[in-house]
Amino acid sequence: MASTVSQSTVGDDVSVVDEAEASNGRGRFRTSWRSLKTRRRLATSRIPQLDLLRAVAILLVIGRHLELDRPDGVVGVAAEAWYRVGWMGVDLFFVLSGFLIAGLLINETKSQGSLDIRRFLVRRGLKIYPLYFLFVGYVIFAPVAKAVVSGDGVGSVFSDQLSTHWPNLLFIQNYVDYGSIGHLWSIAVEEHFYILLPLVVAAIGYRHSRKLIWVGVGAVFVFLAFRIFSVATGDRFSTYVVATHLRLDGLLFGVALRAALEFYPEKFAGLRRWRLPLFLVGLACWSPMLAIPVDTAWTRTGGLTLTLLGAAAFLLALYTSTSDDLGPTRRVASPLVRLLCWVGVFSYAIYLWHVTAMGAVTKVTNRVIVEPLGESQLSWLLSVVVIVSFALAVGILATLAVERPILRMRDRLAPSRAPSLPTDAQGAAPS
């Protein structure tokens, strides 16, 4: 049986599993040297369309968190648009994550007859936790280190930091003190999803996994109702709408899309002829957010639903596209697309570190670029290039230094039991 690639999203794998090895039931945490060699040889294989979506998502989020005064003129208009739609990058990540995690779980139940939840959680933990706790540890201990150098009360500084950031250590920051490290709320939502979905898939088994389509579709309406109730009653979760019970619909709709791919691959492949209309649907769903402020009741209820549907439309449109669709622009556009796909590989670490990295380098650009040139369109563009490049570089370095070695160890100790893409869909999958 052919080897296939196993991947996922902001928080997922760049790993390869040999299907013959995965399906023969050899041990729970053992693998052969032959399959390890196969993994190393194929470790760079990826689904470029999904990496491109990751890159788009992380660049959107970066645009939301840029701390630069927007200039007048065309550049200022573009900067304002980038800021206004930037928060939707998280919803794109959510749909991607649901789509890819569901593939891992459904295919394991199909090929193995059951789901090894322990193995799944071990693999998730070795992917998510090292970089995550490194970042949270930096946030907590950087002020402590400064206190050591300055001679301030180290104990009191550490106590203050711990009392502020402890929810992040337990992945409950989207319920307790959301503002401590603001952007990590989405990691908490995904962590809760990683625990919930395997339990659901294991309970229903492969035979009934197609019901996940209706679970995901139903979730769109159920969680919309939850948000409407939250906003209408003005409960404590209604202001920022980051609680898991208000935001799981994007992830679950991604699960529905993946279940559709697994059980109806021919119909899913037929969406290729609809890729342009799907892309236009995505634009139609997202474009109202250019004019509607993010803190309105509409945005916190129906707007979030529209955003996840737009993200799903973009996923479907791009997943069914190939480089040939670039047409006469292919020669010019391909290098940019390849660069974005490469950036997408590092999106998880970039997401973790981008706010801190941008905050540090923005102080430098303000002094070196903005002050000499003034608040002009040119100074804004130059500052953005430097700030974004630095944020990307920090994430890439963190991935290479921390994540990659741990993932190699993980794939030796707890190899995946199933591919991320169904065998019968390989021929139809775009390349």
- Please give the average per-residue pLDDT across 394-416, as a whole number: 95
On whether the CB atoms of residues 254 and 95 are closer than 8 A, the answer is: yes
State the average pLDDT over residues 72-81. Answer: 95
Distance from C-alpha of 272 to C-alpha of 95, rounded to nearest angstrom: 19
Separation of alpha carbons 150 and 30, rounded Å? 50
Which helix (H) or strand (E) segment holds residue 5: the answer is: strand 4-7
Q: How far is CA 360 from the centre of its chain?
A: 23
What confidence score (pLDDT) does residue 331 get?
A: 86
pLDDT of 49: 92
pLDDT at 179: 64
153 — pLDDT class (breaks 50, 70, 90):
confident
Is pLDDT of 171 > 70? Answer: yes
pLDDT in tens, 180-234: 789 999 999 999 999 999 999 999 988 889 999 999 999 999 999 999 999 999 9
pTM over 0.95: no
Q: How far apart are CA 228 and CA 226, in angstroms?
A: 6
pLDDT band at 161, cuts 50/70/90?
Answer: very high
State residue 8's pLDDT score: 37
Instruction: Report how far residue 124's alpha carbon sits from residue 129's, in angstroms, rounded to the nearest whole number.
Output: 8
Q: What is the pLDDT of residue 98?
A: 97
Q: Would you place residue 431 in the very low, low, confident or very high pLDDT band (cuts 50, 70, 90)?
A: very low
Phi, psi of 190 (to 5 degrees): -65, -40
How many other C-beta atoms can be found within 10 angstroms of the C-beta atom of residue 64? 18
- With 90 as the cut, is the pLDDT of residue 395 above it? yes
pLDDT of residue 2: 33
Instruction: Give me the pLDDT at residue 150, please.
Output: 86
- pLDDT of 178 reads 67
Token digits for 102? 């569901």
**pLDDT band at 293, cuts 50/70/90?**
very high
Q: How far apart are alpha carbons 369 and 372 in whole angstroms?
A: 6
State the pairing for strand pair 4-7/14-17.
antiparallel
Confidence of residue 312 (pLDDT cuts 50, 70, 90): very high
pLDDT digits (tens, 9 = 90+) for 316-358: 999 999 888 888 888 888 999 999 999 999 999 999 999 999 9
Residue 361 reports pLDDT greater than 50: yes
Looking at the chain, the whole-number percentage of residues with pLDDT higher than 90 is 76
426 band by pLDDT with thresholds 50, 70 and 90: very low
Radius of gyration of the chain (CA): 22
DSSP H helical ranges for 24-153 = 33-42, 48-65, 73-86, 88-112, 117-150
Asked if residue 14 has pLDDT above 80, the reply is no
Beta bridge partners of 17: 4
Q: What is the dihedral of CA 74, 276, 278, 207, to 10 degrees?
A: -140
Q: Distance between CA 45 and CA 59 in Å, rounded?
A: 23
Residue 369, classified by CB atoms within 10 Å of its CB into exposed (0-12), middle (13-18) or buried (19+), is buried
Could you tell me which residues are beta bridge partners of residue 305? none
Q: How far apart are CA 293 and CA 70, in angstroms?
A: 17
Per-residue pLDDT, 292: 95
Q: What is the pLDDT of residue 378?
A: 96
Can you tell me the mean pLDDT for 54-75?
96
